Amino acid sequence: MTWLRREPEVAMEALFREMYPLLCQAVYKVLPQTPVAEDLAQETLLELWRRRDQLDIRLSLRAYLRRSVLNKTLNYIRDNRLLPKEDAGKDLEAPQADALQQMAASELGEKIDQAVDNLPPRCRMVFVLSRFEELSNAEIAGKLGISVKTVENQMTKALKQLKETLGPYLR
């Protein structure tokens, strides 16, 4: 993130050109409304700009932005009650169950984040590039300068360790 602090206007313009279409596409997959997708992508990049001095992004800016825009999308859907009509009655029937589900999902998300953080560094990097940035094994191998077989082995190791760590929470 230091490059964003050194020449912020130039860096932000380049980042906007590269990431804006990808963020719009990520939103559009979840919520196929072009103006909303564009607004949420723009808000995400604007928030990055405003908070650039406070942010400490350790792994991947692309993954961070993708997660941020998807969170904004889910918040937008929730705040604007864009749930399917058959789900609308669920709020009236069981608000406590909904709150418990949200709490469980939040706890599970925290456990997943912790489990990923506890992976060995190379294993974690391969996992993040594969699952969060959605790169192919060949792309990961090229980016990290390792063989495709090493990527496969690291993914197997990561998935095994995550399954062991998260197993009790997924039953």
d(CA 142, CA 131): 16
Reading the block at residue 9, the tokens are 């206007």
* Residue 37, pLDDT score: 87
* Residue 99, pLDDT score: 58
Whether the model pTM is above 0.75 = no
Interaxial angle between packed helices 121-131 and 95-117, expressed in degrees from 0 to 180 and rounded to the nearest 10: 130
**CATH-assigned architecture of domain 108-171:** Orthogonal Bundle (1.10)
Q: Any idea where the domains of the chain sit in the sequence? A: 1-83, 108-171
First to last CA, the chain: 39
* Residue 115, pLDDT score: 83
pLDDT (tens place) for every residue of the chain, 171 residues total: 455 556 667 777 888 888 889 888 888 887 788 888 899 999 988 888 888 777 777 667 788 888 888 888 888 877 776 555 444 444 444 455 555 566 555 666 677 778 888 889 888 888 888 887 788 999 999 988 999 999 999 999 999 998 888 787 665
Would you call 103 exposed, middle or buried from its count of C-beta atoms within 10 A (0-12, 13-18, 19+)? exposed
CATH for the 1-83 domain, from 1.20.1270.360, 1.10.3080.10, 3.40.1160.10, 1.10.1740.10: 1.10.1740.10
